[in-house]
Homo-oligomer: A and B are copies of this chain.
């Protein structure tokens, strides 16, 4: 069971920006910090920006920072928005193929749906602020400088 790279990278971007605070950070810096593809990051950042998670500033000294307080970024909400669908199996809405003959007779759908709800309910208990509980440790691990107000 795997979350998409879109979600994985979104979480990492937001965590980094949670550490760097008001300082404007470039895609290049994020890409180098995590050693992940710049191209893929651009898509992720665009999506996060559209969703209102980021403030972006264009131009030579441009970059991005969080568009919301970390305590306002719910992890459950974020995952729901970054996963293209929650199709655990093919028969789920959004599943890759045209479903399954079991259709409405299938109890599996309900069982998996209940499990998914439990998964998301746990994520709903947390915000980005909870993931940033050790900002000094995180900035050290990431090797990034913190400017503006410390996150």
Copies in the complex: 2
A140–chain B nearest beta-carbon distance, Å = 8
Residues of B within 8 A of A103 (CB): 141
Asked whether A141 and B105 contact (CB < 8 A) given A119-B115, A123-B111, the answer is yes
Q: CA of A116 to CA of B118 in the docked complex: distance in angstroms?
A: 9
Interface size classification for chain A: 35 or more
- Which of B12, B35, B102, B108 contacts A102, CB < 8 Å? B12
Residue of B nearest to A76 (CB): B115
- Which of B1, B104, B134 contacts A83, CB < 8 Å? B1
Residue of B nearest to A120 (CB): B115
User: Contact: B138 with A12, CB < 8 Å?
Assistant: no
